[in-house]
């Protein structure tokens, strides 16, 4: 009886890839969804005219976030300035720059 107990115990310890595939896939998918939902706005903010703490910044971020999107006007009203522009903002063209492929030389 003791021998059968050991065999049963060791049989349960063996690695079984087929049994672990489904739970592992589920964990990986949930982790990917969770990380994608958390990091949508990577801009940096600062106050130019006063000192501030991390707690104040976190409080303002929480209060200015509406439906998962950060409200820029709310942050600006509280004295914050975006150090990095949002990704969807287009770069303005420099009126003094030459179009590509043209030069001043003849």
Residue 55 covered by a domain: yes
> Which of 31, 57, 38, 55 lies closest to 46 in space, CA to CA?
57
Compute the distance between CA of residue 37 and CA of residue 70 in angstroms, rounded to an integer.
14
Asked, for residue 11, whether it belongs to a domain, the answer is yes
> Is 87 inside a domain boundary?
no
Cα–Cα distance, 79 to 47 (Å, whole number): 6
pLDDT tens digits along 46-72: 888 888 899 999 999 999 998 888 888
Question: Does the pTM exceed 0.85?
Answer: no
Split into its structural domains, the chain has a count of 1
Whether 14 is covered by a domain: the verdict is: yes
CA distance 77 to 45: 13
Contact 72, 82 (CB under 8 A): yes
Domain membership of residue 14 as a residue range: 2-32+40-82
Q: pLDDT tens, 10-60?
A: 676 666 666 667 777 888 787 777 665 555 567 888 888 888 899 999 999
């Amino acid at each position: 009886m003791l021998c059968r107990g050991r065999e049963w115990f060791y049989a349960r310890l063996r690695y079984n890839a087929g049994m672990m595939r489904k739970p592992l896939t589920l964990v990986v998918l949930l982790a990917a969804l969770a990380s994608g939902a958390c990091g949508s706005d990577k801009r940096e903010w600062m106050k130019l005219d006063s000192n501030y703490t991390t707690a104040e910044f976190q409080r303002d971020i929480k209060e200015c976030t509406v439906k998962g999107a950060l409200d820029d006007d709310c942050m600006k009203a509280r004295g914050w300035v975006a150090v990095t522009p949002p990704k969807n903002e287009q770069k303005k063209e420099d009126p003094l720059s030459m179009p590509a492929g043209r030069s001043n030389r003849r």
